[in-house]
Amino acid sequence: MSDITPLDEFPLHQAPLPMAYANSSDRNFYDRWYFNAHDRTGDIFVIMGAGYYPNLGTKDAFVLVARNGTQTAVHLSDAMDQDRLNPHIGNFRIEVLDPLKTIRLVLEETDGIAMDLTWTGTCDVIQELPHVLRSGSRVTLDAQRFAQLGAWSGTITVDGDQIVVDPETWLGSRDRSWGIRPVGEAEPAGAPATPPFEGMWWLYLPLQFEDYAVCLIIQEDPNGHRTLNDCTRVFKDGRVEQLGWPLVDIHYTSGTRTPTGATVRCTTPEGKPLVLEVESRLAVPLHVGAGYGGDPDWIHGTWKGPDFTERVTYDMDDDAVKGRFMFGCVDHVGRATADGVEGWGLFEHFSIGRHDPSGFTDFFSLAP
């Protein structure tokens, strides 16, 4: 049986292997998409993703619709195939109409939810810095990513209610990432990590303004030491500049770790200040239906059997759901201003465990 696929016809190889094989035996090798869409009101946030996990033999996708106090998710999973030029998982498919510019996402009607959305980038893609983490001597995360801001057109249907998606109103961000990250079923723990995991602080801000886009990633350890600092501005005319070492003040709701917004002080290459004021219009925890770390119901890369589909709805006023907010990553519809100009995008943040600059002393401490 041959392992050669249509991709092997193209000069894409990075290793002396057929394209069907990952150039790593790590079970956590992954290759995935993330998209979000919103209409700037904070009334609705649609988040979509799909991933291929060659060393686990699986592929999966999700569509999450947050509105009216609920998060409703459709989950799809199947055995992985080698039709990489036609990514599809059950009723969900991704059509690359114009690489790095135009993408179509389709979910045929599944348990009352359907969509047909076309993404058009409003700026060039932004290559992010490599993202690497270790636990002891083991690499647990080694990923390459790119991000892009854009607009959406098409329709979303939820239980017979059709929502028209107008690109004059509907915006969003997307990212592509591949490499190694924890996926699938839990592995045997082995010896306790040395030093033990005490916490992690994360901020991700892809924002679009009239003349440019900004993509910021900051990651800090419990001491506040910055292990990733990446802040890039891309102008509509193609110019790219770095915005230094941003200083961040997260505005938390008292008694929680849920932010209402943030003030981010950047510096242009000329040394001029650029202050981003960001506010949350709608908070959507990714570990409630979207399968990101801490989601007890849906973990990316988990084998669910062939042609698996399910729909799950969460009441966001349920105390059991609200109690999970501070233990995972939360995506917000973000409204921003910079030099008096309005912008929109993703305000993604979490602070799990100890983070000395924020005053969080352990996993359970909250903002005053």
pLDDT tens for each residue of 239-258: 999 999 999 999 999 999 99
Contacts of 52 (CB under 8 A, 6+ apart): 30, 31, 32, 59, 80, 84, 87
Contact 269, 294 (CB under 8 A): no
Q: Which two tokens stand for residue 13?
A: 């190889």
Q: Select from 185, 198, 263, 261 the least CA-distant residue to 225.
A: 198
Asked if the model's pLDDT at residue 232 lies above 90, the reply is: yes
Predicted confidence at residue 112, as pLDDT, reads: 97
When the pLDDT of each residue in the chain is averaged and rounded to a whole number, the result is 95
Q: 76-90, 122-136, 252-266, 349-363: lowest mean pLDDT where?
A: 122-136
Asked if the model's pLDDT at residue 263 lies above 80, the reply is: yes
Phi, psi torsion values for 327, nearest 5 degrees: -115, 20
Strand partners, 144: 178
Of residues 151 and 187, more confidence is placed in 151
Q: Tens digit of pLDDT for each residue in 275-296?
A: 999 999 999 999 999 999 889 9
Pick the CATH number of 6-13+20-182+198-358 from 3.40.309.10, 2.30.29.30, 2.40.370.10, 3.40.50.1820: 2.40.370.10
Q: Tens digit of pLDDT for each residue in 295-333?
A: 999 999 999 999 999 999 999 999 999 999 999 999 999
Asked if the model's pLDDT at residue 2 lies above 80, the reply is: no
Cα–Cα distance between 327 and 362 in angstroms, integer?
Answer: 12
Asked if the model's pLDDT at residue 193 lies above 90, the reply is: no
Predicted confidence at residue 93, as pLDDT, reads: 98
Q: Which two tokens stand for residue 172?
A: 């969003």
Q: Tens digit of pLDDT for each residue in 214-230?
A: 999 999 999 999 999 99
Q: Which two tokens stand for residue 314?
A: 């969460």
Asked if the model's pLDDT at residue 192 lies above 90, the reply is: no
For the segment 172-183, the average pLDDT, to the nearest whole number, is: 96
Identity of residue 323:
G
Domain ranges of the chain: 6-13+20-182+198-358
Predicted confidence at residue 1, as pLDDT, reads: 64
Instruction: State what percent of residues in the chain have pLDDT above 90.
Output: 86
Asked if the model's pLDDT at residue 194 lies above 90, the reply is: no
For the segment 272-276, the average pLDDT, to the nearest whole number, is: 97
For the segment 168-177, the average pLDDT, to the nearest whole number, is: 97
C-alpha separations of 136 from 46, 133, 140, 194, 356 in Å = 37, 10, 9, 6, 22
For the segment 123-139, the average pLDDT, to the nearest whole number, is: 90
65-90: buried (b, 16+ CB within 10 Å) or exposed (e) per residue? bbbeeebbbbbbbbebeeebeebbbb
